[in-house]
Every structure is written in structure tokens, then in C-alpha cells.
Structure 1
């Protein structure tokens, strides 16, 4: 017989990718994790995980138990939450994944305020330079900025966000102000590595005219704060989200280049597994998040 605790235990192994990682996540010793897994396999009379010195692979039965079990756990948690709601506020754990810079600057305050208003909810925020990974379905909410490629997750609009080509005033004085996107190919540029995208190919449009430019980058980083600092120091041109550079442009630390050319928008969206059947704490957090960015997001105030 396997109960919800066993399913949660197996999901922890799947999420961490190793028995040692699951031990850290669960606060157990590696030997205790190994013994509990063996006990589950004996009860079910089947192998759930193949363990080798180099990797851990779920068997077909183990993968099925994780896939079907995860949905049962969500339904059970939703049931318990509905019972608690009859006697008070929200309860349970909310897991949120978000990009590094945006998460630090704009999402962390929202999450702290939501938890303050809902003291029985535990909120776990994970910041990553690749929020859309194969483990994204282990989170209740994944905040994403930019185009959403094929995904089984459902997108919810949070805030508008443009992208600007920027450089420091000192850089413009030294290299001149480009008159067309094609001029960027001859300038030193700085790129942000994120979401496994082709980050050195920049796209622009003006009316019915479109341009794609392959820029030369001597500096790159997976942290937006770093490339913004480099740009402010005059080390190159960058293509960056409005939410990150609006203050620098207003204060004169950065200059927007090619203002008549538009890069594709990179709107802020939140992703969930589905629209119907979400736990109440997830639905309420989504509403709380959307309201914090209305009527205008902070970068447009």
C-alpha cells in the first residue's frame, strides 16, 4: 500500500534528480532515503528507480507513479485547503519560479506582502536564469518574460514590457548614435544569456520594414544586473527589457538608441498548469500579482 506521503517522497527524488539531493530536500540522511525507497519497492513488488554510480533513472512504473501520483497529491491538497477555507484563510505551500533580476526587484516584494496577508501560506521562491526548464511543472507559478514557445503551461498576462536598445552617454559620444539596426553589427555589444535563446540575433521592426542583425559580443552574462552595469559603464550596447532600464534612462545613465525601431515586446506572464482546478492559494496569488502591476507597472509610472 502506498499513501500520499510515499508519493511526495518519490516526487522529491524526481525533482532533485538524486537520492542525495532528495535527502537534503527532505532533511534525511542518504541511507534513510535509500531504505525508504527500497521499502516502497518491496511493498509494490516492482522496481521504481534504477540506481547506478552515475545517474538515477525512473522505471516505467516509477514514472507512472510520479505522473499520476502528482495529480492525486494536488487534488488531495486542494481538498484539504477547501476544508481549511471553511474555517479561516488560505493554507498550504506555494512554489514560485521566476527570472533572477525581475524576481529580485519586482516579484520578491509582492511575494513577501502576499505571505504577510496570508500567514498560513508558506511561499517558496526560486530564482533562475532558465525558469522554463523541464522541472517547471514542479512549481505552482512560473513567471516568464518574453515570447512563450510551445508549452503545456497556461499563460496569464501580468504586465506589458517593451525592450530597448541602450548604451551609456559616454559610449554614444565615443562611437556615435546608430541610425539603423544594421549599424549595430559594427559596434561592441553586450548580450544576456537566458532560456537557451539565440541572444546575439536582434530583431527590429518599423512599420512594414523588419531587420534582423547579428551583433558581435565580447561580453555576455546570464545575470541582467551585470550586463546593465556594463552598459552603464560604457562597455557596449545592450538590448534589455524596459522594466530593467527605465530608471537608468530617466536618470541619464543610459540613452535609448534607435527609438523609431521597435524590438519584439517581452511582456510579463505567469504560467500555471491549468486554469481550472487550481488551489485557492494559487488563484488568489495570481490575482494579487496581477493587481500589483495595474493600472501601470512600476517601470511606466
Structure 2
């Protein structure tokens, strides 16, 4: 193997999940794909893919070739895109995945402005309630809020973001203000289902003291906008990101509870597959995104 077409061919098979799907993606017949794969395996004297009528499984050698080969192809493309960008600006496509509410309110305007300033870049934004559960290979950048589970992805800090316990003035007329996190167990609470977390276990810290409380929840949703509206209507207490509730707190629609107790921060980060060899359009968008949230993010302005 002395060039990138063979690597790209193998990566297309991995991304497609089957030889038939790869044939459609590559515009070839299934037999042509099979023959080319066999030729590649003979060239390397190594079996790369175990295929049966029901499933397609990469061997260890095939998986290694895809992993290392993807890095090589990305660096190769980045080199030529950098050369092209020097002559006529940023070009190519950028696929971004982001959380529903944050993506809708804060990320969509940034993306539209960036594309307007760089008309040679095509951007596809996908909003999801669980960005990290999507197939990572499908996206160039994944925007994530909160703690990052173990991952091979590379993180870039975008903006600070705390989390507040909030309730409406109407709810607080029916229930007393809690003086400690433990008292939340006696209040109606609303939880946000996201990222496969234990969403009804709320954790707090005050100085060196930590506290965890299991809150009761009759209402839950996977959309943060819904639970924020429910909280404003007086239906329960929420633990929600600062970016989402700062306006309502300022307007008096919500009241922050337990200000002396700090919940875990949920900073905004952007994730990519590699630190080196990123295309120019990805690097420039990352810097553009970071600059848009400096020196303070809009929810702290």
C-alpha cells in the first residue's frame, strides 16, 4: 500500500457497515468492492475483514489499519486544504453535533456567522439530546456540556458554565425555601434525562463538605427547554445549567436556591478526534467559537 486510495476504500467499508452499503456509497457494484478488498488483502498478505452473510467484522489488523490510516488521511487532507486555504480561503465541509437547547440558542448563530464569513465552507449542524452517544466518526466537532466520560476525543474549552438549583416564586409560596440540600428530598423536583447519567442524584459542595441527595421526580424530560418551562410554571425544582436559567433568574421568573452550595460545574467544551492534523476549517472554526464566548459568555454579561 503506497497511497491513500486503499485506506480511504477501507474506511468507506467501516463507515458503511456492510460491503453492499459501501458499494452504494462508492458507486461500485458489490462484486467490485469484494474483488478490491480481496486484492488489498493479497497485497498486504493479511486478512482485514471477516465477512459472513449476516455480519462484517474487522480483524485486529484491519481495525489497526483503519485507526492509523484515518489519522494519515486526515493529515494528508489537512495539508492540501491548508495549501488551498492560502490561495482562496477556507473550503470543505464541517459536520457539527451539539445539544438541543444550547445548540439552538447559542451555537446556531455562531455557525451561521462563520459560514457567512467563509462561504467556501459547508456546515451541517445536528442537534441531539445525547451528542456523545452518536457515532463519533460522523462528526468533525462534538459540542458537549458537563463532565466528559472516558473518551479518545480531544477537548477544547469553550465557556464556563455553572449549574443552579431553581424554583419559581409560585412554588416557593407553597413550600419553604430549603436551607440544605437534604431538604430538596421533600420538594417536588423535575429532572433532565441526558447522557445516561443518574439524573435524580444531585450532588453539592460547600467548602470541604459534600452532599448527595436523591430527589423525588414526578416529571422528567430529555429536553431542557421543557423542564425550564415547567419550573417557571411552578411545577417543580430543577437543577439546570447557568446558560439556560440566567435570564429567568434575572427577570424573576425563577429564584436560585441554596446559593451557598455549589453543584458540579458543566463547562462547555468542543471535542475533535485528533489534536494534530486537523483541517484548516476545523481549526479556524474552533478559534472562532472560543472567541465568541470571550471575555465572558453571554449568560454572564
If the length of structure 1 is used for normalisation, what is the TM-score? 0.87
1:37 aligns with 2:38: no
1:155 aligns with 2:151: no
Paired residue total: 296
Query: CA separation of 1:16/1:226 partners in 2, compared to 1, >3 Å: closer, same or farther?
Result: farther
CA distance in 1, matches of 2:179, 2:168: 16
- After TM superposition, give the deviation of residue 129 of structure 1 in Å: 2.2
Matches within 5 A, 1:14-33: 14-15=14-15, 17=17, 26=25
Other-structure match for 2:184: 184
Q: Is the 8 A contact 2:96 2:123 kept in 1?
A: yes
Structure 2 unmatched ranges of 5 or more: 42-46
CA distance in 1, matches of 2:186, 2:19: 50
Provide the aligned C-alpha RMSD in A.
Answer: 2.6
Other-structure match for 2:291: 291
SS in structure 2 of the partner of residue 87 of structure 1: helix
Matches within 5 A, 1:197-236: 197-236=197-236
Deviation track 1:135-158 (CA, whole Å, cap 9, x = no partner) reads: 325432221111223322222211
Deviates more, 1:267-276 or 1:156-165: 267-276
Query: CA separation of 1:111/1:49 partners in 2, compared to 1, >3 Å: closer, same or farther?
Result: farther
Q: Is the 8 A contact 1:50 1:59 kept in 2?
A: no
CA distance in 1, matches of 2:186, 2:29: 56
1:168 aligns with 2:168: yes
Structure 1 unmatched ranges of 5 or more: none
Query: CA separation of 1:40/1:248 partners in 2, compared to 1, >3 Å: closer, same or farther?
Result: farther
If the length of structure 2 is used for normalisation, what is the TM-score? 0.87
Q: Is the 8 A contact 2:187 2:237 kept in 1?
A: yes
Query: CA separation of 1:7/1:130 partners in 2, compared to 1, >3 Å: closer, same or farther?
Result: farther
Other-structure match for 1:118: 118
- After TM superposition, give the deviation of residue 9 of structure 1 in Å: 5.1
SS in structure 1 of the partner of residue 116 of structure 2: helix
